[in-house]
Chain A
């Protein structure tokens, strides 16, 4: 199975979006490119853009490798993607509103009731709560894969606390530092204004009770969190405080932060802390990362929490398989961007199929993320597959399976020159009174030859993603 290469597909030689880049590339001295590659690494290490990998103590602060060959999308390709993503995001918010209120979709029998009721990501405390401006998931990272010229699929909807946007911004910044002349020759749509749009977007969903300009803050679990760099980066770029649970408390019915001049009210909280840790009075009592009583303030409509608690029910991998039905139910139209065919192992017939075809499938944990706990059938040994089959039989409802897609490739710069590697794409979507998507996103790339796992925790790297202004 030969993968579709986005720069040099087998059939046509060089694809249009890459023509100008190829012309520039042909003029470059390979030695200089290698040098630039090293420059890039120095820039990242110096700025402290690191990524903590759980379970690797020595490498506690590891860099995500960056590749200097951009991933390029034509304006027309991007517009098509945008329409599909917008439709999906609308459906996700409508679904969340429905699930926590009337549950029409369950009554209509389009989704099995037990899928919601027994789901850990469903937050009963949110039943009947209407978040400010009616928005549940404000910030979404939609993972998209490509298999051919016109074949795009949604791999995952990250509707809780998607990460990676700081890499999108830093990758662009780095590329502009390394190759200023490239950006003069090729018109690339800007992504730099993401922090401003994020701030406006969050401000637009302030609580009704807030009259003046709202005060925003980013809530981080702390500097030991793997994505701390991103939390600090976004707070800094938006010009808002980066707070931890220990800085916050409920004062006079509002959430307030401890400043050098006393407690100050917060109106909108962009939280990067998981639901379970948000409020020890409501959720996990042992959590020191959250704010005791914040859920009461939230239910009283005195603070916006972005994303709202309980959005995980919309990006759960078991729910994912119903996304085509969900989109049709709420938008009245077929999904513009298709799902990947998915077998729910909770269904006996599917389980049987999955067990019989393990060597051809990718099996994922329903609640897993970051590439942990998954089986890539074709790459696994017989023993690994057998061990995994045991786990599958023990708790089938914990797993879904998908075909191993032949993800598109994009060249990276290796010591031996350009070489194709598999990529995916995560555009970032902002929802307030409207939906906004910055033209670009995070392209993750599997650096190992032939590997299909792009997660940074599993040896993946990133690339700058260009949307052409054409």
Chain B
């Protein structure tokens, strides 16, 4: 038996831990792209903020998109509810609320991450220290995940947390692709320039897939392959297919436990089917942007349905 409020807390705790980590990856990629200095850096930083879903909030605080303003906004700004510091604080607040549902290890790893990131992000970050800071954020997220996966009982508590992680991750990957969808489209001007190469690598890097991609596709950057890898490949742990495979799996465990199915299960299964049977060509034919837009909306609808079906509120 689990309180609806606790399920809600677990779901959002996991979403925000995932979000903190995604912010670090996103910035990591942005930083790398800025180093290449081949593109308009303001444009890149802008698209980064859009990927983070924080454009309006950013414009309310800053006028210029630079590495300093963007990294400060995404890492340290408490007025940005999705910044790393806000995310880890929200995650910890939720974790504290559901304290009894967590193992000691899981709670302590979250609490320690909060303490260490609060210290790390207390003062503005020098550009030279950014790589170190981003690594530390990813490491803390990995420690929390490790403690969680290593010590938590596989029951409803675990599955609601899984749902949060995967819904957040799917949303993140879809947004990254959507913001950059145009660089993946076959273009009349396309000549496979180094410029495109940087762009493609940056997409892969922002989901930490640049290395694994090279193994799978023999280091050959092709837009269709990149899209295929991040959307349809269930082996890639940040792909949409991977996320929905995990989501349907968690839902199946919940319906087994509870002996009840809900509308949210149908939504997830429909999304999963589209990710299984579709080929990347079909998606390009349909329109990559339209497809991703539809996915982001479905994913959000799914999250809302879970909250309703399992009485989060």
Contacts and interface: CB of A to CB of B under 8 A. Distances in A.
A236 B5 contact: no
Given A258-B5, A258-B311, A262-B311, A242 B100 contact: yes
A288 to B, nearest CB: 14
B4 A260 contact: yes
Contact of B93 (A45, A223, A243, A261): A223
Most interface-central of B3, B93, B107, B112 (chain A CB within 10 A): B3
A41 interface: no
Given A48-B96, A232-B100, A259 B1 contact: yes
A223 B94 CA distance: 9
B3 A241 contact: yes
B35 to A, nearest CB: 37
Contacts of A228: 96
A75 to B, nearest CB: 32
B99 interface: yes
B260 A261 contact: yes
Contacts of A258: 3-5, 311
B4 A259 contact: yes
Contact of B100 (A48, A235, A260, A262): A235
A46 B111 contact: yes
Contacts of B112: 46
A259 B96 contact: no
B5 A244 contact: yes
B111 A223 contact: no
Nearest to B108: A46
Nearest to B95: A48
A246 interface: yes
Contacts of B5: 244, 246-247, 258
B284 to A, nearest CB: 40
Interface string A241-264: 111101100000000011111101
Interface residues of A, number: 24
Contact of B7 (A46, A48, A242, A260): A260
A257 B7 CA distance: 13
Nearest to B93: A223
B258 interface: yes
Nearest to A220: B97
B104 interface: yes
A228 B1 CA distance: 22
Given A223-B93, A242-B100, A259 B2 contact: yes
A47 interface: yes
B297 to A, nearest CB: 25
Nearest to B258: A261
Interface string B256-277: 0010100000000000000000
B115 interface: yes
Contact of B3 (A47, A48, A229, A247): A247
A246 B311 CA distance: 12
A242 B5 CA distance: 10
A243 B2 CA distance: 11
A45 B108 CA distance: 9
B310 interface: yes
B311 A260 contact: yes
Contacts of A264: 1
Interface string B219-235: 00000000000000000
Contact of B107 (A48, A247, A259): A48
A228 B7 CA distance: 19
B138 to A, nearest CB: 21
Given A47-B104, A223-B96, A260 B111 contact: no
Contacts of B7: 260
A260 B259 CA distance: 12
Nearest to A43: B108
Contacts of B72: none
A359 B140 CA distance: 55
B111 A48 contact: yes
Interface of A: 45-48, 222-223, 228-229, 232, 235-236, 241-244, 246-247, 257-262, 264
Interface of B: 1-7, 93, 96-97, 99-100, 104, 107-108, 111-112, 115, 156, 160, 258, 260, 310-311
30 contacts: A46-B108, A46-B111, A46-B112, A47-B104, A47-B108, A47-B111, A48-B99, A48-B107, A223-B96, A235-B100, A236-B99, A241-B3, A241-B6, A242-B99, A243-B3, A247-B3, A247-B5, A258-B4, A258-B311, A259-B1, A259-B2, A259-B3, A259-B4, A260-B1, A260-B160, A260-B258, A260-B310, A261-B1, A261-B258, A262-B311
The 4 closest A-B pairs by CB, nearest first: A232-B99, A236-B100, A260-B310, A258-B4
Given A258-B3, A258-B4, A259-B3, 13 more contacts: A46-B111, A47-B108, A223-B93, A223-B96, A235-B100, A236-B100, A241-B3, A247-B3, A258-B311, A259-B4, A260-B3, A260-B258, A260-B310
